[in-house]
Amino acid sequence: MPRRDNTLIRPMVSEDLACITELEGSLFPFPWKKQDFMAELLFPGALCKVVIMGQRPIAYLCSRDVADGIEILKIAVHPDCRHRGIARTLIQETFIRAAASDWPLIFLEVAQNNTAAQAFYRNLGFTSTGIRKQYYPDGTDAINMIKTLKEES
Ligand SMILES: CC(C)(COP(=O)(O)OP(=O)(O)OC[C@H]1O[C@@H](n2cnc3c(N)ncnc32)[C@H](O)[C@@H]1OP(=O)(O)O)[C@@H](O)C(=O)NCCC(=O)NCCS
């Protein structure tokens, strides 16, 4: 169903990948290629969503079900469409999905120098749990972040 801002969120399909890989290539220093997204679409327990405005993908999220929660692998919004709550809506859908399965945790990694994304995640209640040294091919460290949806009883 279209949202009030004329965007539509739906599962990603292979026909989206030309636009998505173009956007991905413009945003990330080590972008996923078309075959990486294809593999993710086929991976058991993976869920990839795309946000459509007009006919074009303007944002996407890839996540995977893991042992006791969901791992966010990718989230991105076209620079012209930022600060409208689009990424927040995508992540909140993940929270709802995790809660429905009674999973307590959402995990992700973010580059240490990506302070905008870290601020975005903190705003949504994620906290840092550690550092993965030289996680990226250029030697940049990654910060592990986690959101706890439900405290262990
Ligand atoms: C990070 C990103 C996904 C945020 O997308 P977005 O749709 O603009 O985010 P939202 O509008 O949903 O923001 C929600 C909240 O996060 C925070 N936030 C978002 N972008 C921020 C920024 N650049 N700096 C600081 N805080 C930010 C704000 O608190 C915002 O709430 P507010 O607008 O009410 O103040 C987007 O900037 C992006 O695509 N970046 C490039 C790709 C990337 O780095 N992805 C993450 C890889 S781990």
What are the residue boundaries of the structural domains of the chain, listed by start?
7-148
Residue to substitute in 20, 32, 80, 120 for testing ligand 1 pocket (most ligand atoms within 8 angstroms of CB): 120
Q: Beta-carbon neighbour count of residue 72 at 10 Å?
A: 21
Q: How far is residue 76's CA from residue 37's CA, in Å, rounded to a whole number?
A: 13
So what's the pLDDT on residue 150?
A: 72
Q: Determine the residue of 3, 63, 80, 82 to mutate for testing ligand 1's pocket, defined as the one with the most ligand atoms within 8 A of the Cβ atom.
A: 82
pLDDT tens digit string along 46-102? 999 999 999 999 999 999 999 889 999 999 999 999 999 999 999 999 999 999 888
The rounded distance, in Å, linking the Cα atoms of 30 and 74 is: 12
CA 99 – ligand 1 centroid, Å? 23
pTM for the predicted model, two decimal places: 0.95
Ligand 1 near 97 CB (within 6 A): no
Q: Whole-number mean pLDDT of the chain?
A: 94
d(CA 129, CA 143) in angstroms, rounded, equals 8
- Rounded to whole angstroms, how far apart are CA atoms 102 and 91? 17
Residues β-bridged to residue 61: 49, 75
Residue nearest atom 33 of ligand 1, based on CA coordinates: 83
Ligand 1 within 6 A of CB of 25: no
- For residue 116, how far is its CA from the centre of ligand 1 (angstroms)? 6
119 CB within 6 A, ligand 1: yes
Confidence tier at 2 by pLDDT (50, 70, 90): low
pLDDT level of residue 6 (50, 70, 90 thresholds): confident
Each residue of 101-120: pLDDT tens digit?
A: 888 999 999 999 999 999 99
Helix, coil or strand: residue 49: strand
Residue with the smallest CA separation from ligand 1 atom 39 is 76
Q: Which CATH superfamily is domain 7-148 in?
A: Gcn5-related N-acetyltransferase (GNAT) (3.40.630.30)
Strands across the sheet containing 56-66: 7-11, 46-53, 56-66, 69-77, 105-111, 142-148, 127-132
Taking the CA atoms of 5, 9, 13 and 19 in sequence, report the sign of the dihedral they define. Answer: positive
> Which pLDDT belongs to residue 5?
76
Q: How far apart (Å, rounded) are the C-alpha atoms in residues 138 and 120?
A: 23
